[in-house]
Amino acid sequence: MCGCGQGYWGWGHRAPSPMLLLSLLLSAAPFGLLGEETRQLLEFDGTNMSNTAADPPGKPYPPYSLAEFSWNNITDSLDPATLSATFQGRPIHDPTRAFANGSLAFRVQAFSRSGRPAQPPRLLHTADTCQLEVALVGASPQGNCSLFGLEVATLGQGPDCPSIQEQHSIDDEYAPAIFQLDQLLWSSLPPGFMQWRPVAYSQKQGGRESALPCHASPLHPTLTYPIPQSPIVRAFFGPQNNFCAFNLTFGASTGPGYWDQHYLSWSMLVGVGPPPMDALSPLVLGIMAVALGAPGLILLGGGLVLLLRHKQYSEYQSIN
């Protein structure tokens, strides 16, 4: 299924099987997920910060480098039935004991067919995709209104960094009140994508009441610091030196936040080939049909009434 050519691995004319794709991701996760590296867990002081789109969104606390985390044995969480596995870790050196009762987890899941997960934001997936869910649980924040984030590094294309594309829709059936989908696209061989909704959740059973805004900063070249290349990145894309990075920040200083239940989760979709395209859901199509069809039915009914009344008067015989 995989073939070697010109110094890198590719899929040839066939997409990878779900189990193979999961195995490839696990061989490099949580670093090097199809050309992406999650490098740092960020934390900011969100006190009195109303503009979460600012970069940074508050005074930064010392970040947590994921290279200095201790991770669990992945074989203990590998589940072939659900094609999933979970990396769970905490800092090796934790002088403040912020992670004494907490952990950072990366759950990777491959899919054997198209569908949607049961938990929001319920991104549409196909058999050529994997979902990565990041969950921060039980860690003590360094401030009362801490905002957390992730630094993500990805391969650039040419001298410039790719841009984050925003797609908007009137359909929010699967992710209530979230009308936007963000994505990155790569035109390399094989082509790939990263897709997410700008929302995180402060409760395990994610819902509208626990939704947190997710802001992505613009991509910028990582020329000021080197990024170690994982074997899976070199195997897929060959030797690359042009990396770009961006920050994802979750939450705002008002409303729900990590401080409510010391829980934060966010998920994205990565895959090979073109990204899945969301069509309008049956619920929205039904609402549109009723909204557009009701005036037509009223006009049709009015026309029938006029025709019947006209017929009654035309059959009346005058006595003169």
pLDDT in tens, 23-32: 555 554 444 4
The most confident of the ranges 5-19, 154-168, 169-183 is 169-183
pLDDT, position 28: 47
How much is the pTM?
A: 0.77
- Take residue 178 and report the two structure tokens written for it: 């979230």
Retrieve residue 107's tokens.
């759950």
| Residue 297 to residue 316: CA distance in whole angstroms | 30
CA 30 – CA 230 distance, rounded (Å):
10
Dihedral pair phi/psi, residue 305, rounded to 5°: -60, -45
Contact 207, 2 (CB under 8 A): no
| pLDDT band at residue 37 using 50, 70 and 90 as cut-offs | low
How much is the average pLDDT of 45-54? Answer: 69
Tens-place pLDDT, residues 113-137: 899 998 899 999 988 788 989 999 9
Residues in the chain: 320
**pLDDT tens digits, one per residue of 203-230:** 988 888 999 999 999 888 876 556 666 6
- pLDDT number for residue 268: 92
Q: How far apart are CA 32 and CA 230, in angstroms?
A: 6
